[in-house]
Structure 1
Amino acid sequence: KTESAGHELAFTLLDAITDKDPLVQEQVCSALCSLGEVRPVETLCACEEYLRQHDKVFMLLGGVGVVRAMVEGLSSRASELDKDTASTIILLASSEMTKTKDLVWDWQQAASGVLVAVGRQFISKVMEELLRRLHPGTLPHCAVLHTLASLSVANAFGVVPFLPSVLSSLLPVLGMAKQDTVRVAFCSGKRRPQKARTIQPANIQKGDQPTICKEVLSHINSVSFPPAVPSQLRLAVVEALGPMSHLLPSERLEEQLPKLLPGILALYKKHAETFYLSKSLGQILEAAVSVGSRTLETQLDALLAALHSQICVPVESSSPLVMSNQKEVLRCFTVLACSSPDRLLAFLLPRLDTSNERTRVGTLQVVRHVINSAGECLHASLADCPARAPPQPADLTAMPC
């Protein structure tokens, strides 16, 4: 009797969620979410049944509210679902998400959110359904790519065993992506699973590694689209390149560095927002240092000059990305301090004598940071440097920057 009452209440709310008044829609959605917290299984089943009975509800604004309510209920109570209910919801969300090839982002994002929420508890079932949507030789739906990317963040350990199948399906069709929205989705769909892969490489058979790396390498030039492409796409490509660098064998990475490093440095002049460039550059530098790259030495002067320029730009904005860019640039300096302390000091110390105040302040900021983050690597170089006596860490860290 209680179950019937809960089901009927959910259906009553669902009938009202398509009201033309946005305020009513929001209040009904909030009520559904509250009901879902108390009786998650009944509410989810009612939502699933309602969507099946109203297969065109996704065209209505209220339809997004239905799926939002499902996401809210799943976020905290997914563990209470039984396997049959979970399978039903997964199939529904996947079907709704890919029902149209056109971009209906609010609806598709909401349906994707259901899959991600269920995937926290039933990752195998969700991944099996998504892999079913990846057809050989065919571009996958953008929403499928976004869902794979989101899942690899929400449940990285669960996604790792499926990465060989995912990448082997995505990489061969990468060159078929012509629209910018699809290319951006591909970059997101590749970048995040690769980040998940680095979390638990032991979960993947060693035999898969050469195949995956070969595929990544063979398509890396396809990812590097011409400079005429929109800035959003360029940044998405650069974001993907950072994690990709950790997948390549040392000899392959060494072959690509002469293209990757100058390419990213050139983009500093074309983008006002440089956080994603600096973040990806830091990942590539870490990968290069970890394999003892010799190519990095030939690129070092250009790298130091570009990174130093980023630090010396006045930070007049309170934007989180601006501050984050400063942190990523300093992280790059830490990586270089550990690999080439002599070259770094030879670059920095003369810039302390310049008359340009911003240059001095930026240089001191770098020196202070690398002493704190890579002091042991710098100690021998500081002691042997003939240009000046080694500065004391305590004094430098106290200097305002």
Structure 2
Amino acid sequence: MDATTDKDPLVQEQIYNALCYLGESEPEEILNACDEYLRQHDKLAYPHRVIILKAMETVVKDNIGLLEKSTAKVVIFLASNEMTKSKEVIRDWQQAASNVLVAVGQRFINKVMEEVLTKFQPGILPHYFVMQTFANLSVSNVFGMVPFLNSILGTMLPMLGMAKQDHMKSVFCYALQHFSESIQEYLANLDKAPDPTVRKDTFSNEIFSAYEVLFNSWLQHREAKLRLAVVEALGPMSYLMPSEKLEEQLPKLIPGILALYKKHTEAFYISKSLCQILEASVNIGSRSLDVQLDPLLGTLHPQVRWLPWL
């Protein structure tokens, strides 16, 4: 593994491939060896740590059914520390560590959450990649993650007001989007779910509280990327809002989304979110849509007319 410090990309790729190959026959040994190496070489530069973490992710994914609980715990603890060692966002390194946690979470979700929740404390803004890990876990392991989401949302809501930097606001939006999608998938498959008593209203109030921050504050932000992150979250969130609250918000929500067409040349995410909001409105039998019809058609007609394939 010392060869990971070689700056030649071909050598680095060979090291990655060799670790993955060895991991096919001896996954436990390779994962423990990677853990030991990274712990013993604390000063190893992050680009080289990334190679080892990526190999660990692949070995975990390919052998998830064979992993011992003890090895999983070792890998989880290492990846969690690698992910949060630097308070600054160092995307490649921390993403690689996060991906390891998500891979292990396919089977050992409770162990992963037990570790990562120690880094998600009330009143303290979490690491960017803690939120991203939660979001990606909610996608990759819906049944395992949804039971944690009510508690996570409860802890997260006060943090929205603490988030001052755009990248933190964006990752909260990313999390809310994926949490909402995960909850919908869980509710659509209750017959297979571990807890069939879960209902939409388990999450509705928290989702609405988050909606108020996103729509009333963050959507007005001058930064286009953040506005799009908000829009991507609002669509899935609309399905989970209390019916009466969604109905109450529609006269503001739909014009607010339509106004974004003038600010963004890339309309896909706006249209997708609008579609989800309209579907959620129809699902609750909304009476507010009739008065929105003219502005909707007036805004959407030019979008259809200028589709490149028409």
Same fold by TM-score, threshold 0.5 exceeded?
yes
In the alignment, the residues of structure 2 paired with residue 277 and residue 38 of structure 1 have an alpha-carbon distance, to the nearest angstrom, of 47
Give the Å deviation of 1:165.
1.2
In the alignment, the residues of structure 1 paired with residue 212 and residue 199 of structure 2 have an alpha-carbon distance, to the nearest angstrom, of 22
Whether 1:273 aligns to 2:266 is yes
In the alignment, the residues of structure 2 paired with residue 151 and residue 211 of structure 1 have an alpha-carbon distance, to the nearest angstrom, of 20
- Give the alignment partner of residue 90 of structure 1, picking from 76, 79, 97: 76
TM alignment of 1:317-332, pairs within 5 A: none
Instruction: Report the residue type matching 2:118 in the other structure.
Output: R
Cα distance per residue 1:199-258 (max 9 Å; x no partner)? 223556868854632232233231132534211100000011011111111101011111
In the alignment, the residues of structure 2 paired with residue 150 and residue 305 of structure 1 have an alpha-carbon distance, to the nearest angstrom, of 37
The aligned counterpart of 2:2 is: 15
The aligned counterpart of 1:28 is: 15
The aligned counterpart of 2:207 is: 216
Q: Secondary structure at the match of 2:5?
A: coil
Please, what is the CA RMSD of the aligned residues?
1.8
The aligned counterpart of 1:102 is: 88
Instruction: Report the residue type matching 2:183 in the other structure.
Output: R
Instruction: Report the residue type matching 2:180 in the other structure.
Output: Q
Check 1:25–1:94 CA distance in 2 against 1; reply closer, same or farther (3 A cut). same
Whether 1:74 aligns to 2:60 is yes
Give the Å deviation of 1:171.
1.4
The aligned counterpart of 1:248 is: 241
The aligned counterpart of 2:173 is: 187
Instruction: Report the residue type matching 2:225 in the other structure.
Output: Q
Check 1:46–1:193 CA distance in 2 against 1; reply closer, same or farther (3 A cut). same
Give the Å deviation of 1:62.
1.2
- Give the alignment partner of residue 304 of structure 1, picking from 282, 293, 297: 297
Q: Structure 1-normalised TM-score?
A: 0.72
Q: Are the aligned partners of 1:157 and 1:200 in contact in 2 as well (CA < 8 Å)?
A: yes
Cα distance per residue 1:344-377 (max 9 Å; x no partner)? xxxxxxxxxxxxxxxxxxxxxxxxxxxxxxxxxx
The aligned counterpart of 1:112 is: 98
In our comparison, the structure showing a higher alpha carbon Rg is 1
- Give the alignment partner of residue 131 of structure 1, picking from 117, 123, 126: 117
In the alignment, the residues of structure 2 paired with residue 271 and residue 175 of structure 1 have an alpha-carbon distance, to the nearest angstrom, of 26
Q: Are the aligned partners of 1:239 and 1:280 in contact in 2 as well (CA < 8 Å)?
A: yes
Which runs of 5 or more structure 2 residues have no equivalent in the other structure?
none
> How many residues matched?
303
Give the Å deviation of 1:38.
2.6
Q: Secondary structure at the match of 1:268?
A: helix
Check 1:60–1:251 CA distance in 2 against 1; reply closer, same or farther (3 A cut). closer
Larger mean Cα displacement after TM superposition, 187-196 or 300-309: 300-309
In the alignment, the residues of structure 1 paired with residue 30 and residue 163 of structure 2 have an alpha-carbon distance, to the nearest angstrom, of 39
In the alignment, the residues of structure 2 paired with residue 174 and residue 205 of structure 1 have an alpha-carbon distance, to the nearest angstrom, of 30
Give the Å deviation of 1:313.
0.3
Whether 1:56 aligns to 2:56 is no
Instruction: Report the residue type matching 2:207 in the other structure.
Output: V
TM alignment of 1:311-390, pairs within 5 A: 311-315=304-308
